[in-house]
């Protein structure tokens, strides 16, 4: 066996130290790469999460703007509907007022016609009664005048018919 492989020799321990040093250098050289690779992977995952969060935030902003636009449109439509309903109510109120005035005017005219008809009928009845009374009075006066005179049958008949004709 060679002398440098003997543990009693200093060269043996120098060789072991060299091997340990080389193992450490290889490990250390690979370890930072592995750590850097893991950190890069973790950084890429975090960046992907940040990108996804940014995309989701932008989408949420867009949806929020759409909802605000839809809300504004709905409020505008509601205001339009309310204004139309108020205008319709005013039109209906005006129509009802006009119809009521027309109805009152028609009823007033009908009542005035009934009153005029009743007045005309009363006037006719009064005239008929007055004519009948006048005819009776004339008959009585003529009868009284003619009683002293000789009576004429045609005059008597005419006087009798006079009361009937005046009715």
Query: Is the pTM above the cut of 0.85?
Result: no
pLDDT tens string 121-133: 999 989 888 888 8
pLDDT tens string 98-118: 999 999 999 999 999 999 999
What is the Cα–Cα distance from 100 to 132, expressed in whole angstroms? Answer: 47
Give the pLDDT of residue 32.
Answer: 73
Give the pLDDT of residue 140.
Answer: 79
Question: Counting beta carbons within 10 angstroms of the beta carbon of residue 163, is it exposed (0 to 12), middle (13 to 18) or buried (19 or more)?
Answer: middle
């Amino acid at each position: 066996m060679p002398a440098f492989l003997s543990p009693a020799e200093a060269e043996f321990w120098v060789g072991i130290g060299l091997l340990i040093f080389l193992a450490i250098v290889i490990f250390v050289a690979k370890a930072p790469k592995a750590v850097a690779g893991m950190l890069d992977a973790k950084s890429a995952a975090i960046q992907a999460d940040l990108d996804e969060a940014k995309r989701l935030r932008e989408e949420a902003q867009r949806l929020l703007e759409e909802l605000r636009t839809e809300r504004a449109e709905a409020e505008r439509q509601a205001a339009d509907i309310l204004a139309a309903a108020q205008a319709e109510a005013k039109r209906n109120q005006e129509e009802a007022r006009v119809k009521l005035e027309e109805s009152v005017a028609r009823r007033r005219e009908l009542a005035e016609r009934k009153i005029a008809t009743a007045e005309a009928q009363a006037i006719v009845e009064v005239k008929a009664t007055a004519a009948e009374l006048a005819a009776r009075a004339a008959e009585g006066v003529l009868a009284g005048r003619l009683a002293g005179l000789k009576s004429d049958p045609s005059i008597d008949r005419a006087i009798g018919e006079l009361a009937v004709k005046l009715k």
